[in-house]
């Protein structure tokens, strides 16, 4: 009970601070437009009434938390899943490309890590290029990927998944390299003493030692994959997905819709990270690891 309290109370305290700051910034950001509306209407509201108006504008510069929460609740729980306004529908569209890109990225990252650990030339030549690839803004890469693939007739899910792959393979590759190199020299010498082959050392020592590093990096990768899927929806003119929801909201100044879509993306990312962490704990326990 004390452990639960120590974990929950700090999170709740931080959330309350964030919500309070959010309300303060919403009043500050919406105040100029509300003053202009009151001046044109010849109104002189009191302080409390003025603050209430700034927090209830239909298209505010910065929506208040309760506006976003109301929109999120309505478009998540009160609409059919198949509705074009349902955040569940848009989240599923984005999730499909996220999971595909995450799968590609995880597989690519593991393959690259295995090659780097076992081939010295790859360690010296490939790793710097991998690091350099992540310095290129994804907003610059995404349109090029979309255009090139569309020119050869590849559209739909695959281009968005490849953008997710581009963002998700890097943390997996770095984490797996660290994990595969984590066994102590004493353990490696022991395997050499047992006359173990390179493949036996890999599967019986390096792979088990890399599992915690793998799942820790996969938590980062799955969140990055979701970001890639959302970014990939922006230049494609997609009509569904969280990215498409954000784009439509920006066209029509529907800031409340945009913030609700951002919250939906955050919820999806949190659920994916929790799921990866849960799978990681199950795998570690099945391999004989002790619970933390």
Q: Give, in order, the Cα–Cα distances in Å from 261 to each of 94, 244, 275, 279.
A: 11, 10, 21, 27
Q: Which residues of the chain have pLDDT under 70?
A: 1-4, 236-238, 289-292
Residues 12 and 120 in one domain: no
Residues 45 and 163 reside in one and the same domain: no
Residue 106: predicted pLDDT: 94
* Domain co-membership, 220 together with 177: yes
- Domain assignment present for residue 71? The answer is no
How many domains are there within the chain? 2
In this structure, the answer to whether residues 115 and 253 fall within a common structural domain is: yes
Mind spelling out the 3-state secondary structure of the chain? Answer: CHHHHHHHHHHHHHHHHHHHHHHHHHHHHHHHHHHHHHHHHCCCCCHHHHHHHHCCCCCCCCCCHHHHHHHHHHHHHCCCCCCCCCHHHHHHHHHHHHHHHHHHHHHHHHHHHHHHHHCHHHHHHHHHHHHHHCCCCHHHHHHHHHHHHHHCCCCCHHHHHHHHHHHHHHHHHHHHHHHHCCCCHHHHHHHHHCCCCHHHHHHHHHHHHHHHHHHHHHHHHHHHHHHHHHHHHCCCCCCCCHHHHHHHHHHCCCHHHHHHHHHHHHHHHHHHHHHHHHHHHHHHHHCCCCCC
Distance from first CA to last CA of the chain, Å, rounded? Answer: 16
Q: Are residues 133 and 41 in the same domain?
A: no
CA distance 97 to 143: 16
74 within domain boundaries: no
Q: Which tokens is 158 given?
A: 């695959």
273: tokens are 């990270």
Q: Is 98 found in the same domain as 242?
A: yes
Is 33 a domain residue?
Answer: yes
**Looking at the domain assignment, is residue 120 inside a domain?**
yes
Q: Which pair of tokens denotes residue 117?
A: 């650990």
Residue 68 — φ and ψ, nearest 5°? -65, -45
- Residues 147, 43 share a domain: no
Q: Which residue, among 21, 60, 15, 11, has the nearest Cα to 37 in the 3D structure?
A: 60
Q: Are residues 200 and 268 in the same domain?
A: yes
Nearest of 221, 250, 228, 270 to residue 94 by alpha carbon: 228
The pLDDT value recorded for residue 65 is 92
Distance CA 9, CA 6 (A): 6
CA distance 57 to 203: 60
Residue that finishes a domain, picked among 12, 29, 62: 62
pLDDT in the model for residue 271: 93
Euclidean distance between CA atoms 122 and 191, whole angstroms: 24
The range of the structural domain enclosing residue 154 comes to 87-286
**What is the distance between the alpha carbons of residues 292 and 290, in angstroms, rounded to a whole number?**
6
Look at residue 76 and tell me if it is in a domain.
no
Q: What's the pLDDT at 285?
A: 86
pTM, two decimal places: 0.84
169 touches 225 (CB < 8 A): no
Inside any domain, residue 215: yes
Give me Rg for the CA atoms of the chain. 24
User: Does 151 reside within a domain?
Assistant: yes
Both 108 and 10 in one domain: the answer is no
pLDDT of residue 42: 84
98 and 48 in a common domain: no
Q: Are residues 115 and 6 in the same domain?
A: no
CATH number at residue 128: 1.10.3720.10
| Residues 177 and 94 placed together within one structural domain of the fold | yes
Residue 292 inside a domain? The answer is no
């Amino acid at each position: 009970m004390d452990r639960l309290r120590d974990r929950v109370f700090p999170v709740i305290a931080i959330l309350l601070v964030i919500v309070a700051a959010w309300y303060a910034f919403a009043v500050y950001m919406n105040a100029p437009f509300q003053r202009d509306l009151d001046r044109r209407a010849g109104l002189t509201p009191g302080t409390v009434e003025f603050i209430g108006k700034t927090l209830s504008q239909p298209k505010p510069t910065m929506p208040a938390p309760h506006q976003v929460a109301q929109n999120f609740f309505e478009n998540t729980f009160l609409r059919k899943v198949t509705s074009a306004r349902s955040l569940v529908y848009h989240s599923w569209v984005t999730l499909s490309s996220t999971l595909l890109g995450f799968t590609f990225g995880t597989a690519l990252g593991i393959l690259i890590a295995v090659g780097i650990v076992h081939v010295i030339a790859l360690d010296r030549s490939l790793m710097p290029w991998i690091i350099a690839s992540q310095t290129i803004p994804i907003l610059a890469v995404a349109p090029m990927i979309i255009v090139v693939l569309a020119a050869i007739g590849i559209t739909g899910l695959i281009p968005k998944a490849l953008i997710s792959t581009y963002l998700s393979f890097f943390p997996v590759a770095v984490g797996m390299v660290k994990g595969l190199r984590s066994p102590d020299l004493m353990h490696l010498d022991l395997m050499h003493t047992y006359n173990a082959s390179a493949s036996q050392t890999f599967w019986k020592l390096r792979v088990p030692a890399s599992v915690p590093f793998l799942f820790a990096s996969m938590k980062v990768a799955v969140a990055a994959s979701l970001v890639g899927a959302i970014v990939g929806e922006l230049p494609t003119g997609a009509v569904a997905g969280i990215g498409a929801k954000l784009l439509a909201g920006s066209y029509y100044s529907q800031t409340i819709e945009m913030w609700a879509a951002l919250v939906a993306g955050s919820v999806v990312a949190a659920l994916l990270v929790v799921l990866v962490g849960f799978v990681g704990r199950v795998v570690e326990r099945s391999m004989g690891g002790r619970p933390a």
